[in-house]
Amino acid sequence: TDSLTKNQYIQPTFPVPTFVTDTFACRNEAVPFDATTSNVVQPATYTWNFGDGTPNQAVTIPATTHIYTVDNLYTVTLVVTDVNGCHDSIKHQIRIQHPHAAFNDSVPLIGCGITQMHYRDLSTGLDITGWQWSFGDGASSLQENPHHNYTVPGPYIVTLIVTNSAGCKDTVSDSVFVP
């Protein structure tokens, strides 16, 4: 009898997905997701579920971006499928939190030719790490709750920019009357 032997082997594959992303990011900004360190036989498909109700995104390149429009804690799932149809998944959480800038003011001291205003940060959001005040008269401060002396009474536009540890910023401006 005749026989034919072929030396082709079925090579089992075991994809091992991994990805890198920020754990804290800004709303309405592109968040990068990078799965280039996944151990997978190519060609492969990377299916992303960003946890926010948007449709799954299946791509053949391992890096992508996504924009979250609502502050929340999301679970991101990546499913990697290799050339043989074998697949595995991994999950990571990401917090989307945009700060909301707010402040109030008070007049603790009125003296001869000087009015001291006290500004109090009322901003909300996680991990606010920076404050940038502009007092409307050319002066500024990086303190959380600054005092400022005005020498001329009248209306001023005071602006506060707050920044959180993810680099997200919010700005508020208000008209303040100095007596």
How many angstroms from the chain centroid is the CA of residue 106? 33
Q: How far is it, in rounded angstroms, from Cα 117 to Cα 133?
A: 13
Is the pLDDT score of 117 beyond 70? yes
What pTM does this model have? 0.77
| DSSP letter, residue 39 | B
The pair of structure tokens assigned to 25 is: 């990011």
From CA 177, how far away is CA 179, in angstroms rounded? 6
3-state SS assignment for residue 120: strand
The pLDDT > 90 percentage for the chain reads: 78
DSSP 100: B
Q: What is the mean pLDDT of the chain?
A: 92
Mean pLDDT value of segment 70-93: 95
Q: Provide the b/e sequence for 9-20 (b: ≥16 CB within 10 Å).
A: eeeeeebebbbe
